[in-house]
Amino acid sequence: MPLITDAHLDAPDDFYEALIAAHDGLTEPESHALNARLVLLLANHIGSLEVLRGALAAARAGAAKTEQA
Amino acid sequence: MAVQQGDVDFQARTFDYVPHADQRAGAPVRRPVAIVGAGPVGLALAIDLAQRGIPVTVFDNDNRLSTGSRAICFAKRTLEIFDRLGCGDPMVAKGVSWNVGKVFLRDELVYRFDLLPEAGHERPAFVNLQQYYVEGYLAERAAQLPLIDLRWKNEVVATQPHDDHVALTIRTPEGDYALEAGYVVACDGSRSAVRRHLGLESRGRSFRDRFLIADVRMAIDAPAERWFWFDPAFHPHQSVLLHRQPDGVWRIDFQLGWDADPEEEKRPERIIPRVRALLAHSPAMKDAEFTLEWASVYTFSCMRMERFRHGRVLFAGDAAHGVSPFGARGANSGVQDADNLGWKLAAVLQGHAPDALLDSYAREREAAADENIRYSTRSTDFITPKSAASRLFRDAVLTLARTQPFARTLVNSGRLSTPTTLHGSPLNTPDAEPFAGTMAPGAAAADARVTRADGRDDWLLRQLGDRFTALVGHDPAVEGELQDIAIDGFALKLLSIAPGPGGPALIDRDGDVARRYDLQPGSVVLLRPDAHVCARWRRPTRAQVEAAMRRALCTALES
């Protein structure tokens, strides 16, 4: 199964608000740590290595674009 | 009925102070309704009440319309309300209609949205129109209605509530006078004097950011779309919003950040280079000549009063609630307040409904304010990230949005005003049967193309009555059952809708009514006087429809 890149969230704005709220009051290192834990939790939920490799590649491509810009 | 369209210079217009006999009366004169503030909300409410036969007195502390573009974006639902008030046509004729928004990151288009991706609606998602035009057309419409007594240069300086009236003190160029009102509606803006007189507050959250608005007259060729830039090269690390307005005027909002000096930023020497930089980024615009029409630097808060009703004093528009400008939810929600209150106040004053109906105004519009504040706060948090983590995710979303469709749904440059669905309102009769579509109890009625019995094409919303309307999927037995319903003289208009010609019914030309309302033969959708759905059935009895009307008027005997 390939990585889903079309809109798939039940309630995008509610999710985004909750995501930002999860970082409220954290220092930058604490935020990084939270993000790392979050990635690992979601990765476990996804399970499929193929999908995770697809996500890693798409995220990495974004980094390359940002560096260019 | 509708006002004439003409090229009026509303910005230069002043309204004369005219002394009123009330000022010389021996004792304070009693008026049924006093509206404080002749902005879009106060004028819309005055027109609605007058059209319903209620004499209304409007006080405004100034004698001019607003300055500059201000509210600018008027939403489809607001235009439909203005249609009902008899002044939608000149606004749409004058305004710049638009449906499409584009979002850019730096100089690259990352996201395009269409706010009205389907046909079968008379009005566009938005028109852009300087606020003074909207106020001007409303004032012209108000001037056609003899029941409206609009008193310019009449400033309400004291408000004293009593059990059976509200005592007002009004200051004019000739001195103060006293007046009594059965009800007062405060439509006097974010710094509401009436709110202060009652010792009340609007509370919420202020945002540490400043924005420059510039109205710029220039001859450029760009489509009528909303363009929003995150971090453009011509205004780095901030956002910019561009809207086209009538008369060759463009509205530009530049985010400046909290440290900007508002007085300094208002100077043309500071504004002109910013505009020049914006134009220079585009080959099509780079040589455009321009002149500055109006500019302002603003900050904003998301806030509301705890309660919009305090006995005989009701609060509407910015007096009751405030939002950030992203999403055009300020004036639009204020006009929805007026739309919600007009029929209720008229029904109470005419003895069709108990005073408790006015509590539902507060309850429904407080919930609407919460929704608008939630949307506009989220947009503001995206545009102006409050923390390093928030900025990190914002930038990640924008970066991904260029290539990943899912991320575009997270880009938030403003979730633009749509009518609030009045979920959970005590005036709704909950569904007892399954229905598809979005026209659930509480929803604002959707428009559709219809063909009238005389063969002319028209619009569904133009056919609604001024009290209750029942949309009936054409069925002679159900139509017979529901003939001539009236609750204490408050009548029901039946609007039969058929898939094809051959009777007195409206024809559902494109099938949109059936689709949008899930209207089948015998189905009935009951609309309140403000065109919100309050009940629907597959094949109701007369008693069911009467009970739903009673519930919506708060005259139901059962709780």
CATH (domain of B357): 3.50.50.60
User: Are B193 and B80 in a shared domain?
Assistant: yes
Q: Does A16 touch chain B if contact means CB atoms closer than 8 Å?
A: yes
CA distance A62 to chain B (A): 6
Angle of the B330-349 helix axis to the B76-84 helix axis, nearest 10 = 30
Q: Write down the residue that tokens 């408790």 correspond to.
A: B356
Write the CA distances from B208 to B65, B261, B387, integer angstroms.
29, 13, 12
The three-class DSSP label of residue B176 is: strand
Last residue of a domain, one of B375, B409, B428: B375
Chain A residues inside the 8 Å CB shell of B412 = 13, 16
The two beta strands, B524-527 and B457-459, are: unpaired
The reported pLDDT for the residue numbered B402 is 87
In a domain, B371, yes or no: yes
User: Are B454 and B365 in a shared domain?
Assistant: no
Question: DSSP letter string over B240-257?
Answer: EEEEE-GGGEEEEEEE--
The reported pLDDT for the residue numbered B129 is 97
CA distance B78 to B557: 34
The reported pLDDT for the residue numbered B287 is 86
Last residue of a domain, one of B335, B355, B375: B375
In a domain, B218, yes or no: no
In a domain, B148, yes or no: yes
Question: Which range of residues forms the domain containing residue B459?
Answer: 449-553
User: Are B322 and B197 in a shared domain?
Assistant: yes
Output DSSP code: residue A67. Answer: H
**Beta carbons of B403 and A58 less than 8 Å apart:** yes
**Beta carbons of A62 and B410 less than 8 Å apart:** no
A5 closest CB neighbour out of B375, B395, B404: B404
User: Are B166 and B69 in a shared domain?
Assistant: yes
Nearest CA to B334 out of B322, B317, B346, B350 is that of B317
In a domain, B360, yes or no: yes
In a domain, B259, yes or no: no
B409 closest CB neighbour out of A9, A17, A62: A9
The reported pLDDT for the residue numbered B7 is 65
Angle of the A49-68 helix axis to the A28-46 helix axis, nearest 10 = 140
Q: Which residues of chain B have pLDDT under 70?
A: 1-7, 557-559
In a domain, B312, yes or no: yes
Q: Does A67 touch chain B if contact means CB atoms closer than 8 Å?
A: no
The three-class DSSP label of residue B299 is: coil
- What CATH number is associated with residue B538? 3.40.30.120
Altogether, the residues listed in chain A come to a count of 69
Return the H-helix or E-strand segment holding B344.
helix B330-349
Q: What is the CA B461 to chain-centroid distance, rounded?
A: 16
The reported pLDDT for the residue numbered B559 is 43
pLDDT in tens, chain A (69 residues): 799 999 999 999 999 999 999 999 999 999 999 999 999 999 999 999 999 999 999 999 876 655 443
User: Are B164 and B64 in a shared domain?
Assistant: yes
A6 closest CB neighbour out of B396, B397, B405: B405
The reported pLDDT for the residue numbered B284 is 80
B323: left (phi over 0), alpha (psi -120 to 50) or beta: beta
The reported pLDDT for the residue numbered B389 is 94
The two beta strands, B506-507 and B490-498, are: parallel
**Beta carbons of A31 and B392 less than 8 Å apart:** yes
The reported pLDDT for the residue numbered B275 is 95
**Beta carbons of A62 and B400 less than 8 Å apart:** yes
User: Are B371 and B455 in a shared domain?
Assistant: no
Nearest CA to B36 out of B18, B54, B60 is that of B60
- Start-to-end C-alpha separation, chain B: 41
Q: Do the beta carbons of residue B200 and residue B159 sit within 8 Å? A: no
Burial bucket for residue B318 (CB in 10 Å: 0-12, 13-18, 19+): buried
Chain B residues inside the 8 Å CB shell of A59 = 400
In a domain, B408, yes or no: no
The reported pLDDT for the residue numbered A65 is 54
The reported pLDDT for the residue numbered B6 is 52
User: Are B357 and B460 in a shared domain?
Assistant: no
Return the H-helix or E-strand segment holding B498.
strand B490-498
Q: Do the beta carbons of residue B189 and residue B319 sit within 8 Å? A: yes
The reported pLDDT for the residue numbered B505 is 87
Quote the ipTM score.
0.91
In a domain, B15, yes or no: no
The reported pLDDT for the residue numbered A62 is 72
Last residue of a domain, one of B375, B391, B424: B375
User: Are B359 and B453 in a shared domain?
Assistant: no
Size of interface A-B (CB pairs under 8 A): 62
Chain A residues inside the 8 Å CB shell of B106 = 69
How big is chain B by its Cα radius of gyration, in Å?
A: 24
- Count of structural domains within chain B: 2
- B506-530 pLDDT, tens digit per residue, is 999 999 999 999 999 999 999 999 9
